[in-house]
Amino acid sequence: MATQTTTPDARDARRGERRVVSNIVRGSIGNLIEWYDWYAYTAFSVYFAAAFFPSGDQTAQLLNTAAVFAVGFLMRPIGGWLLGRYADRRGRRAALTLSVTLMAAGSLIVALTPSYGAIGVVAPVLLVTARLLQGLSVGGEYSTSATYMSEVASPGRRGYYSSFQYVTLIAGQLTALGLQIILQQVLSGTQMEAWGWRIAFVVGAAGAIVVLWLRRGMDESESFERAAAEGEKGSGPARGSLRMLLSYPRQCLIVVGLTMGGTLFFYTYTTYLQKFMVNTSGIAKPTAAWINFFALLVFVLLQPVMGLLSDRVGRRPMLIGFGVLGAVVVVPSLTLLSRTSDPVYAFLLMVGPLAVSSLYTSISAVVKAELFPTSIRALGVGLPYALTVAVFGGTAEYVALWFKNAGHESWYFYYVTACVLVSLLVYIRMRETSDGSPLESEAK
């Protein structure tokens, strides 16, 4: 009877794949905690809005918390620049460790800050400070984790592996919502508004300690190590510098264009929709949280499926699919949602657009990473993306609430549609990024 032997090459291939999975898992868990901390703010803002701002009607208080949410986004381009530059010069692992430290500090500030009634205007000032730190952190986290996962992924499977960047991004939001649901079951509404919401930020800060330990054991990406070694021998603009980034104007403009509609669509159907259900549809807060949770659970499961599909059919067809379907679905879905309080119907009106969004979110990271060479990749992915997210994603909640306050809520629906159409034009005109990308040429 013949015995089956494993060749050294096969063993090395399996060992290499296991190492890829290990690095992806370590990076992903850290990414989850980072985005949990970021989304805990919006998940619990319906409870802590009154703690940080003077008494007023619910929409006015939510406008104030939405404004602080938008301020956090203003720091994301600075984080994308500073930590992207740091990642291109000092390494992906070092930048990822620094970003989670900044996020933990911001969460602790929110958790420990007394209410407006106790310390007056200092309370919202400290809240803004915390969001500035978290914005700085998440601006660097996105660019560096997207770059790292794309670089350590196996060639031919980059769409699949890099999709876990959004898996953990959404899982962070799910974790925040899950904790919110648990606290709603064990605490009264009064307790939640008085102190229960602080638990979420304590949990986030504690999770960051675990992440710091995990990220210390990550491998540096081989792409970065090779680029760093070559950079020491060559001349020209420094790695990760703005001067080097400006030599890739077309790529930067593509990042802006492809992100514009995608990020506004994403934030509309994730962070804002829970408030929309409560404030417009009249759905109870606990019910809206459950709808959000299950819709996002479906959304997160779609990410690796769509990422794997992009490895087979390409990135561009999927982006075009998102642009077409996204432009069609916004107005009818939000109009119908505004007129129903039925939980099942509301769930369907949320999960359908999120399925459309997965055509974009699953490959967003890898598409941007495929546009730039290693020496400028983290900054190239981070800065133009963060600027676009700050302008369109960060203001989504505020713009939507502003239109509602002005008595023209439906105008926001058409605003989202217009931005998706602009991105669709970019998708149609751009090339297929997986063909001849710097990532693949560097792997040879």
Q: Which tens digits make up the pLDDT trace of 300-342?
A: 999 999 999 999 999 999 999 999 999 999 999 999 999 988 9
| pLDDT confidence tier of residue 56, bands split at 50, 70 and 90 | low
pLDDT in tens, 343-378: 999 999 999 999 999 999 999 888 998 888 888 888
Q: Both tokens of residue 66? A: 């939405």
With tokens 């409870």, the residue in question is 47
Average pLDDT over residues 20-34: 77
DSSP string, 14-77: HHHHHHHHHHHHHHHHHHHHHHHHHHHHHHHHHHHHHHHS-S--HHHHHHHHHHHHHHHHHTHH
Domains of the chain with CATH codes:
23-221+261-443 (1.20.1250.20)
Average pLDDT over residues 119-138: 82
Mean pLDDT, the chain, integer: 83
Dist CA 280 CA 340 (whole Å): 9
Letter for the amino acid at 188?
S
**Residue whose pair of structure tokens reads 């919202």 in the numeric block:** 124
Structure tokens given for 233: 């021998």
**CB pairs under 8 A, 24+ apart, for 355-358?**
355/298, 355/299, 355/302, 356/265, 356/322, 356/325, 356/326, 356/329, 357/262, 357/265, 357/266, 357/269, 357/299, 357/322, 357/326, 358/299, 358/302, 358/303, 358/306
**How is residue 26 written in tokens?**
């370590």
Verdict on whether the full-model pTM lies above 0.85: no
Percent of the chain clearing pLDDT 70 (strictly above): 88
Which token pair is 112?
Answer: 């420990």
Each residue's pLDDT tens digit, 374-419: 888 888 888 898 889 888 987 888 899 889 888 888 899 999 999 9
Our CA angle for 203, 205, 206, nearest 5°, is 65
The one-letter amino acid code at 222 reads: E
User: For 272-305, how does the pLDDT look when each residue is reduced to its tens digit (9 = 90+)?
Assistant: 888 889 888 888 888 888 898 899 899 999 999 9
Tokens linked to 110 = 């929110």
DSSP 375: G
- Tell me the residue type at 383: L
Instruction: Report how far apart, in Å, the C-alpha atoms of 382 and of each of 85, 160, 201 are.
Output: 9, 21, 26
DSSP characters for 166-215?
A: HHHHHHHHHHHHHHHHHHHHHS-HHHIIIIITHHHHHHHHHHHHHHHHHH
As a whole number of angstroms, the distance between CA 259 and CA 251 comes to: 12
pLDDT category at 159 given cuts 50, 70, 90 is confident
pLDDT at 234: 47
Confidence at residue 421, expressed as pLDDT on a 0 to 100 scale = 97
Tell whether the model's pLDDT for residue 84 goes beyond 80: yes
Q: How far apart are CA 429 and CA 433, in angstroms?
A: 12
Residue 165 and residue 361: Cα distance in Å, rounded?
A: 9
Is residue 200 pLDDT above 60, yes or no? yes
